[in-house]
């Protein structure tokens, strides 16, 4: 059993485990070389050989404890019939949402479109040491919904008027999304993944009166499925601040990833019966080595006597120096 699974399944506080969100990405020159030759991001995610190679790049370079499959949360809406493009310096752009086409999507067709992702997981598992976990992931229903019906005005604001249009039955869409996300989880596990992380990147944009219905309850249904199938899971409801406590109580995940806006000492006092992961601000890797190591020490010390997975409060930034990542890993393992 990998150290990551020992922590999540057995709540083993003596195990050390480190991996980073976006560890397979733009800060690595070996990734940039592949990316420069493959401009279509969705096609790159569907290239099983290259996806597996990219997944293993940070493992080869840093000997991290876990690999996370190179893919994207928007592969789900892609498989459900929407065109997905990544516009340079702007981010993802999805074709108009068609409710009828979405609700008519069949399970077999959905799985077939994502088969290259599952093949990449199979290839990666064969080339990954048995003592290392292979993490797969999904976007949480709310976060996917934000992209699918294009309701984000900017990084900090949702167009709730569009969300409340009469021709959009949010509960019906969320239920269908949950169904297909659980299929995607099971397919990834069947292919060789042994941990699932659930990214709710836009949870922090939900107001108090609907966060339970759009964030807590959908995440809880997916975690319930994972627990029924004995799949270790980690939730990342980014930006919800003190609502992490309600999230943990209602959703009851195996692990919960912190963002960098939460005080780790508050977390230690408030979040019970859950494995803590992450928290360190990825921007600190751009500062001096002294500041980086002081920041890491804050989290290491805060969680030294409870089950903890060392990670970040968001993904590694493209401008990060790989040598800094190496020093951070070595520092954690020596402390």
Residue 4 and residue 296 in contact, taking contact as beta carbons nearer than 8 Å: no
Across 126-137, average pLDDT: 97
Active-site entry in 12, 26, 175, 213:
26
Active-site residue, selected from the candidate residues 40, 65, 104, 147: 147
pLDDT at 134: 98
Query: Which of 154-158, 170-174, 271-275, 302-306 has the least mean pLDDT?
Result: 154-158
Asked whether the predicted pLDDT for residue 152 surpasses 90, the reply is no
Residue pair 77/144 in contact by the 8 Å Cβ criterion: yes
The pTM score is 0.97
User: pLDDT-based confidence at 157, cuts 50/70/90?
Assistant: confident
Q: Dihedral, CA atoms, 304, 305, 307, 308, nearest 10 degrees?
A: -10
β-partners of residue 275 are 255
32 is catalytic: no
213 is catalytic: no
Q: Check the CA dihedral 168-172-176-178 and report its sign.
A: positive
For residue 103, the Cα-to-chain-centroid distance in whole angstroms is 25
Cα–Cα distances (Å) from 257 to 84, 105, 133, in that order, read: 27, 32, 17
Interhelix angle 217-228/170-191, rounded to 10 degrees, is 30
What are the tokens at 121? 């997981």
Residue 97 has pLDDT above 70, yes or no: yes
Name beta bridge partners: 277.
257, 309
Rg of the chain taking only CA atoms, in angstroms: 19
Please say if 214 is a catalytic residue: no
CB 19 within 8 A of CB 65: yes
pLDDT digits (tens, 9 = 90+) for 82-94: 999 988 777 899 9
For 214-268, write each residue's pLDDT tens digit.
Answer: 999 999 999 999 999 999 999 999 999 999 999 999 999 999 999 999 999 999 9
Nearest to 202 by CA among 252, 153, 142, 255: 142
Token pair for 139 = 């976007």
Alpha helices in the chain (DSSP H): 3-10, 29-36, 41-45, 48-62, 75-79, 99-103, 107-113, 115-127, 141-148, 160-163, 170-191, 211, 217-228, 244-251, 264-270, 289-302, 322-333
Structural contact between residues 102 and 176, judged by C-beta atoms closer than 8 angstroms: yes
pLDDT at 271: 97
Mean pLDDT of 62-76: 98
> Which is nearest to 141 in space by CA: 172, 109, 112?
172
Lookup: tokens for 279: 């928290």
Residue 167's pLDDT band (boundaries 50, 70, 90)? low
Assess contact for 46 and 113: CB atoms under 8 A. Answer: no
Helix axes 322-333, 289-302, angle to 10 degrees: 40
């991290």: which residue's tokens? 64
Active-site residue identified among 22, 118, 244, 254: 22
Number of H helices, E strands in the chain: 17, 11
Verify whether residue 22 is a known catalytic residue.
Answer: yes
Structure confidence at residue 163 (pLDDT):
79
Range of the domain at 205: 3-333
Question: Catalytic residue among 72, 175, 213, 281, which?
Answer: 72
Domain count, the chain: 1
Residue 26 catalytic? yes
Query: Mutual orientation of helices 141-148 and 217-228 as an angle, nearest 10°?
Result: 130
Tell me the mean pLDDT in the region 195-206: 97
Average pLDDT over residues 163-184: 88
pLDDT band at 168 (very low <50, low <70, confident <90, very high): confident
Q: Say what percent of the chain tops pLDDT 90.
A: 90
What is the Cα–Cα distance from 41 to 251, expressed in whole angstroms?
A: 32
For residue 23, the domain's CATH number is 3.20.20.210
Confidence (pLDDT) at 166: 59
């Amino acid at each position: 059993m990998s150290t990551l699974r020992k922590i999540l399944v057995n709540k083993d506080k003596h195990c050390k485990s480190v991996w980073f969100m976006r560890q397979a990405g733009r800060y690595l020159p070996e990734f940039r070389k592949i990316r420069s030759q493959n401009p279509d991001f969705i096609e790159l995610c569907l290239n099983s050989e290259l996806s597996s190679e990219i997944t293993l790049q940070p493992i080869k370079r840093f000997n991290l404890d876990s690999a996370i499959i190179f893919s994207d949360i928007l592969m789900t809406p892609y498989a459900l019939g929407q065109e997905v493009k990544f516009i340079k310096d702007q981010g993802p752009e999805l074709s108009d949402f068609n409710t009828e086409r979405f609700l008519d999507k069949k399970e077999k067709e959905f799985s077939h479109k994502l088969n290259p992702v599952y093949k990449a997981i199979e290839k990666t598992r064969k080339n990954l040491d048995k003592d290392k976990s292979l993490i797969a992931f999904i976007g949480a229903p709310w976060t996917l919904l934000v992209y699918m019906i294009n309701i984000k005005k900017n990084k900090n604001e949702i167009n709730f008027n569009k969300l409340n249009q009469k021709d959009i039955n949010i509960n019906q869409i969320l239920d269908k999304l949950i169904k297909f996300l659980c299929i995607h989880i099971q397919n990834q596990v069947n292919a060789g993944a042994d941990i699932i992380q659930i990214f709710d990147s836009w949870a922090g944009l939900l107001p108090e009166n609907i966060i339970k219905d759009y964030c807590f309850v959908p995440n809880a249904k997916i975690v319930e499925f994972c627990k029924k199938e004995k799949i270790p899971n980690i939730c990342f409801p980014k930006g919800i601040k003190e609502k992490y406590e309600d999230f943990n109580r209602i959703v009851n995940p195996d692990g919960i990833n912190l963002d960098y806006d939460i005080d780790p000492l508050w977390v230690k006092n408030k979040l019970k019966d859950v494995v803590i992961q992450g928290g360190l601000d990825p921007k600190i890797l751009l500062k001096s080595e002294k500041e980086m190591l002081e920041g890491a020490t804050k989290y290491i010390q805060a969680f030294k006597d409870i089950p903890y997975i060392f990670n970040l409060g968001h993904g590694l930034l493209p401008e990060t120096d790989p040598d800094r990542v190496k020093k951070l890993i070595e520092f954690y393992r020596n402390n």
